[in-house]
Amino acid sequence: MGASSDSPNTFKQLAFLSSGTPEADEARLRLVEKYGDVAPEDADCIVALGGDGLMLRTLHNYMDTGKPIYGMNRGSVGFLMNQYRESGLRKRLAEAKPSIIHPLLMNATNVRGDEFSAHAINEVSLLRQTSQVAKLRILINGHERLPELITDGVLVSTPAGSTAYNLSANGPILPLDSPLLALTPISPFRPRRWRGALLPDAAKIRMEVLESAKRPVSVVADHDEFRDVAFVDIEMDHNANLMLLHDPGHSLEERILREQFGY
């Protein structure tokens, strides 16, 4: 069926993606009937129907395309999503405000010398694999800043991800346009009073795993996990530009600001 023309806009070809839940699948069928549907590769805009998990997967899957992504909440939390409404979608898209975010680039080497690479939109986390706490050495731009951190883990968060795992670990909320990264420990034991650091988003961060045979550590970049790492390098990938679209008054920047005031 042809696309609706309830408002002129630049997003003529739309691709609708579902998280796979019955609620999201039903919504996709109704929206496709109303507005048409093309393959994501051919779309002017990708409309994601689900929760924040689907939004992260969609951003990862189409990271290199430059296509704007507009989410509508058919999940639970939906922090990254707009409210679900079937009518007036083209008008909403035409009036939507873009948020440009950059992901983290993670390069890791495990104890066997195997190398891994992945992007993270929210955070990169190093986590202990066993009952033994992790021991980590932290270097920033090649300079040792913490010779030994004894902890359950540590994470590096983008501003966009600062309200996710980072906030749960008592890390700071970062304004979306701030040129910063949050380095946040997870249940640190020593140094006892160390609560993390704010770093410029041009920083190159290296985490070295101490006593890796006795205290194995995994690294997780959003949903990609690699185990038994020896060291991990993390930096922001300024060459990757991801565009999220949000309704006026509900931009990602506004939502992050609201989180700081508890609503």
Task: Tell me if 53 is assigned to a ligand binding site.
Answer: yes
Residues 194, 212, single domain; the answer is yes
Domain span at 254? 14-101+241-259
Query: What pLDDT does residue 263 have?
Result: 59
State whether the Cα torsion 56-60-61-62 is positive or negative. positive
Looking at residues 56-75, what average pLDDT do you find?
93
pLDDT at 55 over 90: yes
Task: Tell me if 52 is assigned to a ligand binding site.
Answer: yes
Told to judge if 228 belongs to the known catalytic residues of this protein, a careful annotator would answer no
Looking at residues 239-251, what average pLDDT do you find?
91
Task: Tell me if 122 is assigned to a ligand binding site.
Answer: yes
Here the tokens at position 52 are 């924040």
Q: Do the domain assignments include residue 5?
A: no
Residues 209, 129, single domain; the answer is yes
Catalytic residue among 52, 222, 233, 247: 52
Instruction: State how far the Cα of 142 lies from the Cα of 8, in Å rounded to an integer.
Output: 52
Q: Alpha helices of 76-205 — where are they, by DSSP H?
A: 89-95, 165-168
Q: Do the domain assignments include residue 4?
A: no
Residues 114, 230, single domain; the answer is yes
Task: Tell me if 165 is assigned to a ligand binding site.
Answer: yes
- Domain containing 133 — which CATH number? 2.60.200.30
Task: Tell me if 110 is assigned to a ligand binding site.
Answer: no
Task: Tell me if 163 is assigned to a ligand binding site.
Answer: yes
pLDDT digits 0-9 by tens, 134-178 = 999 999 999 999 999 999 999 999 999 999 999 999 999 999 889
pLDDT digits 0-9 by tens, 166-225 = 999 999 999 988 999 999 999 999 998 899 999 999 999 999 999 999 999 999 999 899
Q: Alpha helices of 155-251 — where are they, by DSSP H?
A: 165-168
pLDDT at 105 over 80: yes
- Entry pTM: 0.88
